[in-house]
Amino acid sequence: MENELFPMDVSAPCRILFVCLGNICRSPAAEIIFKTMVRKQRLDGRIESDSAGMIGYHRGCPPDARMLEALKKYGYSNPGLKSRPVRKNDLEEFDLIVGMDRENLRDLKKMDKNGLAERKIVPMCFFATHFLDEEVPDPYYGDREGFEHVVKLLEDACSGLLGHLKKQMNP
């Protein structure tokens, strides 16, 4: 992946927004995993992240208990996240907006009426290096294995994303 594909201002903290449908499974899991990786690499002051959902139905709710259970199995803890919907100003405020599936990406691009955020709206699986999934599947109606698959897929993609950002910071 070329650095100019997602050019960012690396002089200020780089801001990443993870987006799924309701912000209770995939995007908060991505935020939790990514923040853990950023903290372990001591990049807290240089990279910030948040998560949001395309719908506001779950506004103020914590992540799904099954997702938290799967995250806990892989060593992650919930820092008290609460669901929120994507806001129009998110498209301006974040340097990279990472959608979990095609529908999320399509809806984000529809929100971008003037096309100014188009280059920074990207699929999560673009950064995966060990999984062939083209989308992060929504585990909500599935079983425990589905949640665990999402955690492993997000670990891979978050690692790839962090590697991309580090190259941007140290060309």
Which of 14, 138, 156, 158 is the catalytic position? 138
> Could you write out the DSSP letters of every residue in 61-113?
PPPPHHHHHHHHHTT---------B--TTHHHH-SEEEESSHHHHHHHHHH-T
The question of whether 42 is a catalytic residue gets the answer no
The question of whether 138 is a catalytic residue gets the answer yes
Distance from C-alpha of 36 to C-alpha of 120, rounded to nearest angstrom:
23
Which of 26, 64, 95, 158 is the catalytic position? 26
Which of 14, 20, 25, 158 is the catalytic position? 20
The question of whether 14 is a catalytic residue gets the answer no
Distance from C-alpha of 67 to C-alpha of 106, rounded to nearest angstrom:
25
Active site (catalytic) residues: 20, 26, 138
